Amino acid sequence: MKYLFHFNTFNDIDHMTPVVWKFLEKGEAVDVIFLSDYDFNEDYRIVFLSKYKKFRVYRVSFFQKVRNKLFFNTKSRALIKKYKIYKYIIEFISENLWKNSYLKKRDIKAVIYEWGTFRLNLDDAIQQKTPTIVLPHGLNIFKNYDINNSISERKKNSGNWPDFANRDIFDVYVVQSERHKKWCIDWGQSPEKVEVWGSARFYPPWSALNLKLCGDMKRNIPKNLMKVVFFLPHWSYNVKVEKVITLLDKISSLSYVHLFIKGHTRGSGTILDEHIKAIGQKNNIEFDVKEHSPQLISYSDIVINFGSSIAIDALNMDTPSIHAPYLHSNRTIFDDGLVNYVADSDEEVIAFIDKNYSSVLSLPDKERKNLFYFKEVYGAVEEVDVHDSYYKNIKNIASLIPIK
């Protein structure tokens, strides 16, 4: 019996690999099918998983795509929902005439996806009563619902937030925190479908292993320079772009700083030519750094971030972190300064950088870290092994026959 995971690109690999790893460590067989053109053969996490004998990775085939689009498109789903006869016709064709041989031949125990809605193999899994589970492809750090331009416009024009009710089609939809569960329910998901399991990606044991898998970062930076990494946000997430560029210019102008700028791994968030032109080419600044975020955090002396969960890796690695909420209008889990320094102006950011250069900023104590982890990483459960919880929860769901 196997567990079938569906991946798309960098971020879902990032958050779901520790779950796959736990299953392989337990001796389970895991197949991963890629739904995109992502070059997974070069991905360090897939290379790591491929060392396990019971791990297999595939690319979705052309015929699988065609079959899914023909039988399970939006119009077909509407007809299936409205007319029972159409449901029976589709089921007969998909189960007898044009079968999904992938699910049939491999004795799949559970079908697992990243956050989202309809996916390849979903309808077949439902027909065959195979449990369907959705795992996080990121960690939502935001506390306000109007986090980007698209959602704000929708709310303004219709008066409604996005409707997540169709995500109830899955058996279980997993988030990391009680805060995010409430968000999903407020947007239409059934409370019985959404479960809080914590963060497999930022659970400290995986964070340490992930850093090891990335490898050491190598640069010939003069020892008298302080290494600063600035993580870019999604530009469309209510970001004050001009203020960000101005701050980057100021930081790069500090004679004792070497600045790394890392683009966001999802959506918009890369440094543009116009930004580079505004800041200017300098010897102490690297735009759009290609090394992985954990490598940069471990290599650097201080982290600046305001729109990404990657700051949790900084906490795991004991690298001081500056949070700059004045650069956007969103509210986040870092605003309270429990595990980071909060700067409300360019001057305060520079002051923190200067203080770290002169002495070294102190790190949050154990009590503050534990409180943060409890809420955002452990799923509000004391003394939990997050990876083991994911494994046991999925195994338990897979052992039950879901009611569709």
Q: How far apart are CA 278 and CA 249, in angstroms?
A: 8
* 89 against 194, higher pLDDT: 194
Q: Which residue has the tokens 């099918």?
A: 33
- The one-character DSSP state at 233 is -
Taking residues 239-245, report their average pLDDT.
Answer: 96
- 158-169 pLDDT per residue, tens: 999 999 999 999
Long-range contacts of 338-346 (CB under 8 A, 24+ apart): 338/364, 338/368, 338/371, 338/372, 339/315, 339/364, 339/368, 339/369, 339/372, 340/311, 340/314, 340/315, 340/364, 346/243, 346/246, 346/247, 346/250
What's the CA gap between 174 and 139, in Å, rounded?
11
CA distances from 251 to 36, 90, 216, 257, 285 (A): 38, 60, 25, 7, 9
Count of CB atoms situated within 10 Å of the CB of 308:
24
Range 284-288 average pLDDT? 93
- Residues 387, 333: one domain? no
Whether residues 101 and 129 fall in one domain: yes
Distance CA 310, CA 321 (A): 10
Instruction: Supply the range of the domain harboring residue 317.
Output: 217-367
Residue 240 lies in a domain: yes
- In this structure, the answer to whether residues 42 and 167 fall within a common structural domain is yes
Residue with tokens 């016709």: 89
pLDDT band at residue 268 under the 50/70/90 scheme: low
Q: What distances in angstroms separate CA 190 from CA 96, 172, 187, one per listed residue? A: 33, 10, 9
Is residue 355 a part of any domain in this protein?
yes
Question: Is pLDDT above 80 for 267?
Answer: no
The predicted pLDDT at position 139 comes to 96
pLDDT for the residue numbered 46: 97
Do 179 and 321 share a domain, yes or no? no
Residue 46 shares a structural domain with residue 156: yes
**Whether residue 161 sits in one domain with residue 73:** yes
Could you tell me if residue 140 is inside a domain? yes
Is 373 a member of any domain? Answer: no
Give mean pLDDT, residues 12-34: 97
Rounded to 10°, the helix 346-358/241-252 angle is 30
Select from 381, 190, 403 the least CA-distant residue to 392. 381
pLDDT tens-digit series, residues 342-398: 999 999 999 999 999 988 889 999 999 999 999 999 999 998 999 999 999 999 999
Residue 266: its pLDDT value, please? 67
CA proximity to 265, closest of 295, 296, 293? 293
**Same-domain pairing of 159 and 233:** no
Looking at the fold, whether 171 and 222 belong to one and the same domain comes out as: no
Instruction: Answer yes or no: do 300 and 352 share one domain.
Output: yes
Q: Is residue 318 part of a domain?
A: yes
* 140, pLDDT greater than 70: yes
**Helices 84-92 & 74-82, crossing angle to 10 degrees?**
120
**H helix runs in 72-192, sequence order:** 74-82, 84-92, 101-106, 122-127, 149-158, 178-186
Same domain for 175 and 70, yes or no, is yes
Report the CATH number that the domain containing residue 73 is assigned in CATH.
3.40.50.2000
In a domain, 99, yes or no: yes
| Dist CA 397 CA 197 (whole Å) | 13
Q: What is the reported pLDDT for 403?
A: 41
Counting the structural domains of the chain, the total is 2
Residues 131 and 231 in one domain: no
Residue 325 is assigned to a structural domain of this protein: yes
138 and 268 share one domain:
no
Read off the pLDDT of residues 60-104 as tens digits, 9 standing for 90 and up. Answer: 988 888 888 888 888 887 887 788 888 888 888 887 778 777 776
